[in-house]
Chain A
Amino acid sequence: MKISVIITLKKDVLDPQGKIIQQTLDGMGFNDIDEVRQGKYFEIYTKDKDPIKAKDKVEEMCKKLLANLVIENYKIIDAQ
């Protein structure tokens, strides 16, 4: 089973990389962008067959390693 997780920076956390991407896009002519926030995406392939159990485990992984909850939020977006 594949579990997909995205990790994003919390709202108040400065994202200098996102800001530079936005500025670069602006320079390329994409002038309608107010803000870009960069995040991370993980695909976790597990032997678990039960999606609920698998999601619970991935949630634990997010809390313990994949995300730093001081600055980041995680969201399990898919399990299939």
Chain B
Amino acid sequence: MKSSVITFPGSNCDRDMDVALRKFGFKNKMVWHNDGELPKSDLVVLPGGFSYGDYLRCGSMASKSKIMKSVINFANSGGMVMGICNGFQILVETGLVPGVLLRNKYLEFICKNVFVKINSKKNTYFKNINNEILEFHIAHNEGNYFCTKDQFNEIEDNNQIAAYYCNKDGKVEEQFNPNGSIKNIAGIFNKEKNILGMMPHPERMIDPSLSGEDGSVFFKNLINNLK
């Protein structure tokens, strides 16, 4: 399986993502934002970080960069595109997934482990995954997912919510919502479910001695689903 990780000026989780993808069997290529052509890929990842210093709005500048035209074409033709953290912010700015990511409710940068509950397994990202509750890491200032009422109804009708913030037992309640996002939303799909935007970082949970293994569970399952 071939993957591509896009590096924007200010990306800082691109190498972590590269390490994670390679560890679980992807042949990964790093792609510079100013390249026009996307290498042949089964998965394209927009990594975390602070592309363009979060100027204007997080992800807004990166969403207009040269490579994004190819990424948008790839996504619109059914290609798998995953945006993590700043990558999620870039995805919402392209309009590939609905909504926006606002400043965290309590105005603090949040850096901690959280639990997320997978909403649905009817998609290539989570199909056949054993764990419904995963412990991932979050590190963001703008992860407060927001959308209009109409958008939210559409998201619910199409089962586009990928994951919710919850506690370790999978309880989805306001008290386990780290950033104020609507209905504890941690991740969103597009209608067709080939595009996933998610604030939590699975690539930070791939080593039991450093963090945890729930990211390993995610990536192992993902590559199997793509085969």
| Residues of A near any B CB (own CB < 8 A) | 13-14, 16-17, 20, 64-66, 68, 70-71
Contact = CB atoms under 8 A, between A and B. Distances in A.
Interface size class of B (residues with CB under 8 A): 10 to 19
B103 A71 contact: no
A68 B60 contact: yes
Contacts of A64: 64
Contact of A71 (B102, B105, B180): B102
B100 interface: yes
Interface string B139-151: 0000010111001
Contacts of B100: 68, 70-71
Contacts, number: 33
B105 A16 contact: yes
A65 to B, nearest CB: 7
B105 A14 contact: yes
Contacts of A70: 99-100, 146-148, 151
B210 interface: no
Contacts of B29: none
Given A13-B102, A17-B107, A65-B64, 5 more contacts: A16-B104, A20-B107, A70-B146, A70-B151, A71-B146
A66 B105 contact: no
B102 A65 contact: no
Given A68-B57, A70-B147, A14 B102 contact: yes
